[in-house]
Structure formats: C-alpha cells, structure tokens
Amino acid sequence: MSQLRSVIRGCGAYLPERILTNQDLAKLIDTTDQWITERTGIKQRHIAAEGELTSAMGTAAARQALKHAGIDAQDIDLIVLATSTPDQTFPATAVTIQAELGITHGAAFDLQAVCSGFVFALTTADNFLKGGQFKRALVIGAEAFSRILDWQDRSTCVLFGDGAGAVVVEAQMLNGAATDRGILATCLRSDGRYRDKLFVDGGPSSTGTVGHVRMDGPEVFRHAVTKISEVIDATLAQAGHKASDIDWFVPHQANKRILDGAAKKLGLDPERIIVTVDKHANTSAASIPLALSTACGDGRIKQGDLVLMEAMGGGFTWGAVLIRW
C-alpha cells in the first residue's frame, strides 16, 4: 500500500575554524591528554570564534545540505532547529536561519532536547511530513556549547565542542515495500526525575542569566547504555528489523566508551560505528548530523543502507531513529 515517507535527500555540516586540542586544554586547566583520551576518546574540539553565532553555523550547514540535495532553499517549507544554545532567548534561532536562507513561507521553530535534540527534531519533522502538512524540511542541529561551559570546571569543559549539521528531508509517496527509502521507525523518551543530573544553572525565569553546564557525569554514564539499548530495541522492533540488519550505527557522540557499550550490546561490528567524538567532542544536538555528514562525505553511508541513530542527554531525554538511506 502506498504511503508518505520522509526521505533524506542530503546532508551538510559546519565546524568553526579554531581547534582546541587536549594538549591546549592541559595548559589552561588541571587535566591531561591521557585522562581525556582514556575516559572519553576525545582528542580535540572546534570552538566558535567571538561573534560566531549558532544561527551562522546552522545556516552554513543548511546551505551545504541544500547543495548536496540539489534543492533550492525556496523549496523548503519547514525548518526545525535543535539547539540548547540559541542566539537569544527569543525569537527562535530557526527564524534567523530561515531569513538568512531567504525563505518567507512555511514555518521555522527551535526544539530543545539537549543532546537528544537532533533525534527529537527529525522525529518531529517526520511526523509533519508524513501527515502531509509540509513537503520539504531542513532539520538542523547547531550548538555554540563553548559559551555555556564553565572553563574552570575540568569535569565538564573538556567534553564539549561547537558545530552544526543539517539534513534535507522530503515527503515522498512510496509503494510501501520493505526496501522503500525513508524514516522507518522513531522512538522518543524522557524522564524529568533526572533533570538535575545534567543541566544549566541559569535561565530566563530562574536566575535571569544564561548559566553554565553542570553534570553528574558518572550518574549520566550509569543510565546511558541501558536507556539507549531499550530505545534501540523498541525502534528496531517497530520496523521489524534485527540489529544484524544495520549497515551503519550513528550514535550521539558523547563518549567513546558509551558508543562502544551500546554497539557491543547490539552485537555490532566496530567497523559499522561512525565515530567522530575524537575530532568534534560532544557537540550536543549537532553531533549526529555532523557524523552523518562525515560518513556520507567519505562514501561510507550510501543510498539503500540501513542507518540507526540514537542519543541520550539532559532531561533525561533519549531516543532512536531508523532510516533506509
């Protein structure tokens, strides 16, 4: 039976020019390259220049995704931006990106699910496209996380980086075959009882300030692999697939030990995991689209491949998306 499917048409990325290595950090705070590498797999991160905004990074990634898709900005009628580091409290940073792209029709809004933001944004766009309300969406993850880090807190500041990634998603009427392209299954979860395990200690209605990232790292780590595995199982079951069907596993890039743990539970060959955490660190909502863009750019992810994404972050929020590329 024919059905509307959300098909990925292209992807793009943007990374700020400045690279901050672990060795650079060791000169600023009490840490070592060895500690960061062993505990997280991170070797370096990109840092936005002064005055370089989340909207600018998101726009650059969106332009590259449009180019890759061969689609004109005027053909986009929905922009969903996942970010925890908007340019301003309001308006949504998505409308700045919309204006930068010269789009005056359709809708653009921000979505906040911290590190799970891209998975939540893609699922949101998928539902709008499948429902027939919009035809083509730009789903973007963009973060200037360096702006909300406490650079004196070595337990958090070594973990994050800045950047943006984007995908163009198009509603296509397909014939319902098992080999059809598009988003096959999505699964989102949150549990606010854990909201104080990873948070920012400021905000418009509380302190009137932007605040800094605070995290109980070991507690987040303790929940990560179990929660991620549960949502992956639910997503695969929804689509009638097994872990062994997966061509590429594109996890949120927080910590190499968490990626490896989730992949091991799935029984996946390490060659099938897309890893960018070593070069980008944790870019929150930008990490999955940055990894997708890397793996599409170097020819690993190809049309027809089965791609599984997952993320977990502040809230807690977590989720997974399964796509036939």
- Catalytic positions are 115, 252, 282
Burial of 173 from C-beta contacts in 10 A (0-12 / 13-18 / 19+): exposed
Collapsed DSSP state (helix, strand, coil) of residue 110: strand
Q: Is residue 313 close enough to count as binding ligand UT7 by CB under 6 A?
A: yes
Report CA dihedral (194, 198, 201, 205) to the nearest 10 degrees. -50
In angstroms, the CA 65 to CA 272 distance is 23
Least distance to ligand UT7 from the beta carbon of 154, Å? 4
Of positions 62, 95, 254, 288, contacts ligand UT7 by CB under 6 A: 254
Site for ligand UT7 in 150-169 (CB under 6 A): 154-155, 158
Amino acid (one-letter) located at 160: F
Q: Is residue 35 close enough to count as binding ligand UT7 by CB under 6 A?
A: yes
Q: Is residue 220 close enough to count as binding ligand UT7 by CB under 6 A?
A: yes
Contact 246, 235 (CB under 8 A): no
Which CB, 6 or 255, lies closer to ligand UT7? Answer: 255
Site for ligand UT7 in 188-217 (CB under 6 A): 217
Applying CB under 6 A, which part among 36-44, 75-83, 239-247, 272-280 lies near ligand UT7?
36-44
Least distance to ligand UT7 from the beta carbon of 36, Å? 6
Q: Is residue 82 close enough to count as binding ligand UT7 by CB under 6 A?
A: no
In angstroms, the CA 57 to CA 316 distance is 26
In angstroms, the CA 9 to CA 181 distance is 10
Applying CB under 6 A, which part among 31-39, 126-134, 175-183, 263-271 lies near ligand UT7?
31-39
Q: Is residue 39 close enough to count as binding ligand UT7 by CB under 6 A?
A: yes
Q: Is residue 40 close enough to count as binding ligand UT7 by CB under 6 A?
A: yes
Question: Given the structure tokens 């972050």, which residue do they identify?
Answer: 313
DSSP assignment string, 224-273: HHHHHHHHHHHHHHHHT--GGG-SEEEE--S-HHHHHHHHHHHT--GGGB
Site residues, ligand UT7 (CB under 6 A):
31, 35-36, 39-40, 115, 154-155, 158, 217-218, 220-221, 224, 254-255, 258, 282, 313
